[in-house]
Chain A
Amino acid sequence: MIYTLIPLLPFLSFIIIILLGRNFIRDKAHFIAIPAVATSFLLAISAFMEVSNGKVINIDVYSWIVSGDFNVSFGFLIDQLTAIMLLVVTSIGTLIFIYSVGYMHGDSGYYRFFAYLSLFIFSMLILVMGNNFLMMYFGWEAVGLCSYFLIGFWFHKKSAGDAGKKAFIVNRFGDFGFGLGVILIFLTFGSLEFTQVFGQAGILAGQTINFLGTEVDLATMICLLLFCGAVGKSAQIPLHVWLPDAMEGPTPVSALIHAATMVTAGVFMVARCNPLFIMSPVAMNTVAIVGGVTAILAATIALVQNDIKRVIAYSTVSQLGYMFLALGVGAFSAGIFHLYTHAYFKALLFLASGSVIHALHDEQDMRNMGGLKKYMPTTYKVFVIATLSITGIPFLSGFFSKDEILWKAYQHGDLGKFLWFLGTVAALLTAFYSWRLIYMTFHGKFRGTPEQEKHLHESPPIITVPLWCLAIGAIFAGYVGIPPIFVEHGDKIGEFLAPVLGHSEGHGTHAEEYFVIFASIFVALAGWFVAHIMYVKKTDLPQKLGTMFAPVHKLLYNKYWIDELYSKTLIQPMLKASEKVILGFFDKIVIEGIVNGVPAVIASFSQGIRKVQTGLLSNYGLVMALGALCFVGYLIFMG
């Protein structure tokens, strides 16, 4: 089965590089990693072609676990949903691998970087290709592990190590729920195969399960547990705190893992489990509300951040919120569509900001940038393309996918109207902070040191060529999903995904649809306009507004104090408790008590007996003689 090679090639590349990297391959690691992932990309295209005429590939490579009723095979399922994910992961992966050659050039961990990236691609492909929940779970954990490795890639920086740990630990909270969800699925359906579980999803109807003494709807329980995992992995509120910190990793990592692929795993998982989720309106509404609230809260935080990568990171959180909003209102294909277009323009934003950071020698604070337009024309151009796309300017990919989501939300009753409102406001904020980023970085005067200014330069072609490729994606990727209102049979991606994700039927009128479209175009332009006034025309305005609304600014600048809240309520008590109970009681008293107690008892016992051992020959002789005497006496008198 040739498609087994899709995940296998990056894995082989990982094995070769990690084993031989330090001594033999060193700075030639990309000669192994790039061909591997590029071949996977070609195979993914071929798989896409094969499923595009409705075929579904479902093969078991071998039996992985057999234990009584518990049967899990190592197998792959390539359907329309997987095919799209494969294309996104491998195409963006290939471009980012090429970009990394330029970006990571000269780093002492060069081979390590490519080894981890290859491992990540392997894990992500397993996640999307697995044909059962356990393989998905395996991929799910493996991408988390790679994320940890790569966030902490520059481990000599304490902040990077801390960010890696934070990402890993916060994800544990979500994955705990996901793991329980998988177990509950097995208990309910007796199988973990996707085809079997989704085939009999109907039996969930009306079933309840006892949870802490109350009867809870079984479908809701399963879906909410699964969604827990998605909330962690896709950085939704309240577990979004790790993603902005993850920006400590190298920029290609931020682009690949923390924007385009891994963080969208949660969206993919919910979409994959859509037959379960549609059984539970409660879970669907939860997904939609969490998504909508995340979209707007993350956007408000992004308004005032000064670190270029953090702004984009909050933008990612916000866009992921959009995807969940779409999933929650039942528009699964719209969510996947946005996942797919977002991957291109967000990866482009990250890589372009990486180009800026590279030129400024690791400066990430936008207050020390400005005026880069004339030094880095190519980076500026692709940055503008990506920003036009993300803000939803008509006829770029972001416009089509965002509009699809907002329109689907609008048709979803009263809750949908409210979510549409949230989404539209978030779009306004998105436009504002995206243009703010551009104006602060590329316009005005350069605010860095003269030393930095001397070295300003455009990045080499190895960096700009991938940028252009992604820019093409950011412009044209959306043309697979033109709303039917513009072009007959325009929504090709929706029809393509329909066998897996179903149709979401709306019943809005054309007038309403035009209203939604023009509202989103209007907010996109309005955000741009406001940003233009504040950061180009009247550059003292942000300062004034900041002081006028000081409490609000402070609240947003400190990210709603969520990190501090977690620190106070969870981390500090946990540290205290572990110091007092685990270290003070359990370790010092219980463990050391056992370890020191057993030898002490033996020693005190032996203190008594050792007196017998006098070391005097005559004593031994006497005892021996008496013993012999007793023995003989016994034989004579008693025998």
Chain B
Amino acid sequence: MVPLNWYIMLSAVMFSIGVFGFLARRNLIVMFISLELMLNSVNISLIAFSHYLQSMNGQILVFFVIVVAAAEAAIGLAILIAYYKNNPTIKVDEINLLKG
């Protein structure tokens, strides 16, 4: 039986890696992956709590998160492709059209 703490720690480590990847990398695809990593770390902690508390609510929430993540990935990638068609780059440093 793996104790709850381990799951929480795994989740925290995954989340931190995701945050770091999101902030440090300049490649949009990698930033997307980091984003998914953060979402999934949250999923892990939700499932762990759900199992620990013997309540199904957390697991239901996870499905919502997965659906939202899928939709977000689809839209995000679509935007990315559309952008790439106009400006052939996926480096975020060069994507600064909204600069004030």
Contacts and interface: CB of A to CB of B under 8 A. Distances in A.
Contacts of B51: none
Indicate the member of A609, A615, A622, A625 with the most B CB atoms within 10 Å: A615
B98 interface: yes
B75 interface: no
B31 to A, nearest CB: 7
A601 interface: no
A614 B96 CA distance: 7
B23 interface: yes
B19 interface: yes
B56 interface: no
B92 to A, nearest CB: 5
A596 interface: no
A44 B99 CA distance: 81
A612 interface: yes
Nearest to B24: A618
A615 B99 contact: yes
A621 interface: yes
B38 to A, nearest CB: 10
A270 B92 CA distance: 88
Interface in A599-623: 609-618, 621-622
B88 interface: no
Interface in A572-618: 609-618
A615 B98 contact: yes
Interface of A is mostly: helix
Contacts of A618: 22-23, 26, 92-93
A37 to B, nearest CB: 71
Contact of B100 (A610, A617, A621, A625): A610
Interface string A168-186: 0000000000000000000
Contact of B23 (A609, A613, A621): A621
Interface string B4-22: 0000000000000001001
A112 B93 CA distance: 72
A621 B96 contact: no
Interface string B84-100: 00000000110111111
Interface in B70-84: none
B93 A615 contact: no
B91 to A, nearest CB: 10
B6 to A, nearest CB: 21
Contacts of A615: 95-100
B70 to A, nearest CB: 21
Contacts of B97: 615
A625 B19 contact: yes
A612 B95 CA distance: 16
A167 to B, nearest CB: 60
A613 B99 CA distance: 5
Contact of A622 (B23, B31, B95): B23
A612 B98 CA distance: 11
Interface of B: 19, 22-23, 26, 31, 92-93, 95-100
Given A609-B100, A616-B99, A618-B22, 10 more contacts: A610-B100, A613-B98, A614-B96, A614-B99, A614-B100, A615-B95, A615-B98, A616-B96, A617-B92, A618-B93
